[in-house]
Structure 1
Amino acid sequence: MPVTGWMAAAAATLALAAPATIEGTDLTDFLKGTPAADQVLAKGGDDIVFGLGDDDRIDGGPGRDVLHGDGVCPPGAERPDACTDDDDRTGGDDTLRGGDGDDVLLGGRGNDVLEGGAGVDSLSADAGNDRVDGGDGDDEVDGGTGLDRIEGGAGDDWIATGAGSDTIDGGAGDDLIATESGNDRIDGGSGDDQIESASGRDRIDGGSGRDDIASGPGNDTIDVRDGVRDTVDCGSGRDTVRADRRDKLVSCERVNRR
């Protein structure tokens, strides 16, 4: 299979003309896929990868990697700044794995799977019904629109989603979770979490820890019965709350205290 590109002492740039397995080096690589479904193994180093079209599988390996599931690169591009995330025509159902290191994962359009791995990662799923796992570390996760399933993992995570009925598990750590419209299921996990939901019939479980929860319009179900003092602002709607006697509740209609 033809390979085009250049090799240098500290970097490698590879682009293939047909679907294939593309392997980087343990140096700093710039790797491009094809319009077809590719498998990219970036290996070690601080790599930049563009999957381009179709359903790609990209493994960043160790290092501080930037992985684009989609994107557009002009023919013969030898530098990442020549490429863009303009993926209106090239979106696919991609799988991105960051590996160890502080990685940036950009899924683009399509139903993507993003796994940050260990490190302080930034994961953006964009449009589609995506599955996102931040892994260990203080991660930043943007689910975008669609029916997403998000796990923050261990660490103090920032998790946000767009319109759509999402399922979110903050995991261990002091997390900040914010959702937009949709019937969301949110579990803060262990830690002192801040949870904000928008319109919809949401189900919120603060988990263990001193949580601060604000639910938006809609008939929500909220559980903060964990033996420590939590704060819940139910907002508008006819909400149901399961709480401890020491919890602070505001504008909550149906309350079951213990």
Structure 2
Amino acid sequence: MTSITTISQLELTFTEIAGTIFSITGNDTFILRADNGQNFFVDLIDELNTSILGLQVGKSVRVTGFLNIENNRFNLINTILINQDGTRPPLPIFGIQTISGTVGFVVNDSQFILNSNGQIYFVNLLDEFNAIGLGLQPNQIIAISGSVTLENGRIDVNSSRIIDGVNIPTQPPFLPDGEFPPGSIIGNNSTQFIQGTFNSDTVFGFGGNDTIDGQDGNDSLFGNSGSDSIVGGIDDDIIFGNVGIDTIDGQDGNDSILGNEDDDILGGGEDNDTIRGNTGSDEIDGGSGDDGLYGNVGSDSIFGNVGNDSIWGNEDSDRLEGGPGNDSIWGNEDSDRIKGGFGDDNIWGNENSDRLEGGFGNDSVVGNEGNDSIFGNEGNDSIFGNEENDSIFGNEGNDSIFGNEGNDSIFGNEGNDSIFGNQGNDCLESNSGDDTIRGGKGDDIVDGGFDLDFLLGELGNDQLSGGDGDDLIFGGKDDDLIFGGGGNDTLNGDMNNDTIIGQLGNDFIIGTSLKSGENEIDFLIGSEGTDTFVLGNSNVAFYSFAGSSDYAVVTDLNNLESDKMIVFGGDGIVLGPASVGTDQGTGIFVDEDLIAIVVGVTVLDLQSGLIFI
């Protein structure tokens, strides 16, 4: 640019002009026309190149706010706001404004370049913070948390929480001094095929639906606006799709990929990749290697594929699948569908009602908030429903299942499972295998299913059924209903007023705990088989401390089935008439304290069935 006499005559050193429109006459020269009608011929103080902003010679673009001119030149970095494509000028920034959909480029210690939905903002920090103090470095791209607050064109990091602390593993499309990196391959706003070399290239697609092939070397590839197709090639690449529906394939090497806006298809290829979809409903495939995959905003489909992957769905309802390998998967917000696949996986549904499947391997699956459906499937799994009302299926393997809060439905299915209902009114069923079930708090329904089970109702008015097999069942506290089912079972009502039905098999039935049974009235029913009713041990007669306020009612002592009744001692025991409602029978008294009423049995019949210890 030649000397311009009008500039010095107007004495524009450190002059501020407002409402400016500039016409681009060259790659770094401008004609400015202020609102007062004055024209200024200036160039850039920082050598920033107009093509970096997607601006073309001959276009007119409006600069909002105030523009500083220093000795015939203006500093674009200090300009408040410029429209990226040069066609739709944004509103001026006066006072406080918020912007969203933002990625921030750290230019230097106190300046940032913000890309918000296609508009570029050159801003400084409002306060005394610097980039280093925020843990950031020049040339670093950062993720912006929510909306960004601008006050007269500056960022208030205190009030807007603009830095979320998650570094996006890419590079900004220009250096802090405003120039392209040396040797960059630069496209334009048309649709192009751009091919890198066998060295480490930096490629900028700009506008248009570009096809970019990085080939060999550690490449930095930027699609920018338009729906681009980008291939990283061999080695460790950095790929930034930006605006548009992009298709990106990192191929070989440890690649860092950012889809950014719109619905992108992102593939890592081989080796250990980091992929972020950001906004839009993205499809992400990590390929082989130990990958870090982030869906972020939008309903994403993410597949870890081969390797030990870490997957975050984040916002919206996502479909997440680990594939082969030991994966860690977080659904986070909204209702997600997550499948671990092959390997020993760690899965967290987190917020809302999720469908979680462990797949093959020994998995750890955590539902957390929401009414979750959880399937452990093959392997020895650890499953935690946590909050709200969950449906949990352990399926194959020896599983440990914890319903925790809420009214849960838990099915252990195959294998030797340990099931804990914990809080809430739970329905717990083990099915096949030698299982352990503990109801916890609440009124639970517990079914042991097949094989040898240990069932404990714990707190609440529980209903427990052993099913087939020789089971050990304890009612716990409160008023329980216990069914032995098939097999030779040991049934203990434990505390409070219980009803115990032995059903099939030769059962061992105890109405109370190994304490006295004080203030309890238990109903003991043997049903079929040779049953033994226990009314005491070698130390104490049960139900012997509250007179007629505590006793057991035995409804079917059958000598023909060789049923027996075990009572404490022998001295002080008296048999006599007694009744329960309209049912007549024989009472058993210890030191004049009623301990049992045997319904439908005479004194003579009862004497032959007593065993004293």
Matched with 1:240 is 391
Q: Which has the higher contact order (CA 8 A, sep 6+)?
A: 1
Alpha-carbon shift at residue 133 of structure 1 (Å): 0.2
CA distance, structure 2, for counterparts of residue 120 and residue 146 of structure 1: 24
Question: Partner amino acid for 1:125?
Answer: G
Aligned-residue offset at 1:13: 1.6
Cα shift at 1:218: 1.2
Counterpart CA distance in 2 for 1:189 and 1:12 is: 44
The gaps in structure 1 that reach 5 residues or longer are 5-10, 71-90
Q: How far, CA to CA, are the matches of 2:308 and 2:212 in structure 1?
A: 30
Pairing 1:14–2:185 present = yes
Asked if the contact 1:240/1:254 (under 8 Å) is kept, the reply is yes
- What secondary structure, in the 3-state scheme, does the structure 2 residue paired with 1:135 have? coil
Alpha-carbon separation, structure 2, partners of 1:179 and 1:203:
10
Trace 1:1-258 onto structure 2 (pairs within 5 A): 12-17=183-188, 18-70=190-242, 91-226=243-378, 228-244=379-395, 246-251=398-403, 253-258=408-413
| Paired position in structure 2 for 1:76 | none
Structure with bigger gyration radius: 2
Q: Residues of 2 paired with 1:30 and 1:92: CA distance?
A: 20
| 1:41 partner letter | D
Contact conserved, 1:12 with 1:27, CA < 8 A, in 2?
no
4+ runs deviating over 6 angstroms: none
State the shift of 1:257 in Å.
Answer: 2.0
Residue 15 of structure 1 deviates from its aligned partner by 0.9
Contact 1:27/1:44 (8 A) holds in 2 = yes
2:553 aligned partner? none
Tell me how large the CA RMSD over aligned residues is. Answer: 1.5
Matched residues in 2 for 1:217 and 1:28: separation?
46
CA contact (8 A) 1:19 1:34 kept: no
Counterpart amino acid of 1:202?
D
TM-score normalized by the length of structure 1: 0.85
Q: Which AA in structure 1 matches 2:187?
A: L
Whether the 8 Å CA contact 1:223–1:241 is kept in 2: the answer is yes
Mapped to 1, the partners of 2:375 and 2:403 lie a distance apart of 15
Amino acid at match of 1:243: G
Q: How many residues align?
A: 228
Measured after TM superposition, the shift of residue 225 of structure 1 is 3.0
TM-score, length of structure 2 as denominator length: 0.36
User: Is the 1:12–1:24 contact (alpha carbons within 8 Å) kept by the matching residues of 2?
Assistant: no
1:13 partner amino acid: S
The whole-number CA distance in structure 2 between the counterparts of 1:232 and 1:31 is 47
Q: Could you tell me how far apart the structure 2 residues matched to 1:20 and 1:199 are?
A: 43
CA distance in 2, matches of 1:30, 1:218: 46
Query: Structure 1: how far apart are the matches of 2:304 and 2:230?
Result: 20
TM-superposed deviation, 1:154: 0.6
| Aligned sequence identity (%) | 33
Shift of 1:229: 1.9
